[in-house]
A = this chain, B = another copy of it.
Amino acid sequence: MSAATIVEAPMPLVAGVDVGGTKTEAVLLDARGAELSRARVSTRTGPAGVVGSVADAVAAARRAAGPTGRGGLLRAVGVGVPGAVDAATGTVGRAVNLDVEDLDLARRLEAALGCAVVVDNDVNLAAVGLARSRRPSTPSLAFLNLGTGMGAGVVLDGTLLRGTRGAAGEIGHLCFDPRGPRCGCGMTGCLELYASGSGLLRASGGVPVAEVFARAERGEPRSSAIAARFSTALAEAVRVLAQAYDPAVIALGGGVFASERLFLPRVRRVIGEWEASSTFVRSLRIGERLTVVEATSAVAATGAALWAAEIAASTAAGSAPALRR
């Protein structure tokens, strides 16, 4: 009698990665979508640096999950990148913070990781992560990201809205003030010039967001004016989301939101003033839908993993890929 060798099938896993300008965060999920582990590595820039950072973060998350993570079978990896992405091919057109342009990221990562890889814009994937991780999950959500710039990721009817040219949700470059300054995009008075990290720094002469709002709280006139304009432009962006998409949830997040305790009440006040004078705005009940996301990169990594799992499942089932226009 010989002892039978017991061979267990390796556990199927999916990973999601958020590539930020300084940190790359990975999350590992099991087949049912439960989180097994998380890990962070420093982001290295340039094409080889980005590919290596993603691979390192996934490896770190696998190690952090112990034997299950190290021995599991990675079925798919989703990657969120701060830049213009052609989601159909997984090519990064331009990501200034990562110092890459026209990078065939999905194909290079598939070679490095040995599994299917999907790549999308980080804000889009944060929107997916937020919509899927709510209890109960919501069919429609708009995520307004305020970082250096302003952009929105939109989930409608459970699916990510990308648009015909990947431009859906580009509301940061809608006009806030037709008499405003020229924006880097070439247009005038864009929302992003007023309600974004870069916009606020330009207006404040380099004084950081939190400090501007702290000074405004103390009544300093110049900071008060900047804070008021920031809050009004942000409220206007929220109104654009409510009137364009009318989603169940409007989530605000991004780097700037570390100071949310200081400026969220101001945004709510602006909306409250509009509601006092407009039955139309009142009917939108914007305040009830507003929520703040504290850790955007963690949410984007989760969204990337869930999105990769859905793509993998639809591919396995032989159905059309879950991409939509």
Within 160-190 of A, Cβ neighbours of B (below 8 Å) are at: 161-171, 173-179, 185-187
| Cα distance A177–B165 in the bound complex, in angstroms | 28
Contact between chains at B248 and A164 (CB < 8 Å): yes
Residue interface bits A256-278, CB-to-B below 8 A is 1, else 0 = 00000000000000000010011
Any B CB within 8 A of the CB of A285 = yes
Q: Most B CB atoms within 10 A — which of A169, A186, A187, A281?
A: A186
| Cα distance A246–B162 in the bound complex, in angstroms | 8
Q: Flag the segment in A47-55, A235-243, A291-299 that touches B.
A: A235-243
For this chain, the copies found in one complex come to 2
Q: Identify whether the interface residues of A are mostly helix, strand, loop, or mixed.
A: loop
Question: Which residues from chain B contact A280 at a C-beta distance below 8 Å?
Answer: 173, 185-187
Contact between chains at B167 and A242 (CB < 8 Å): yes
| Cα distance A175–B191 in the bound complex, in angstroms | 12
Number of chain A residues close to chain B: CB under 8 A = 48
Q: Most B CB atoms within 10 A — which of A178, A236, A240, A284?
A: A178
A186 → chain B, closest Cβ, in Å?
3
Residue interface bits A223-247, CB-to-B below 8 A is 1, else 0 = 0000000000000100110111111
Question: Which residues from chain B contact A283 at a C-beta distance below 8 Å?
Answer: 165, 167
Question: Which residues from chain B contact A134 at a C-beta distance below 8 Å?
Answer: none
Question: Which residues from chain B contact A220 at a C-beta distance below 8 Å?
Answer: none
Any B CB within 8 A of the CB of A279 = yes
| Cα distance A281–B6 in the bound complex, in angstroms | 62
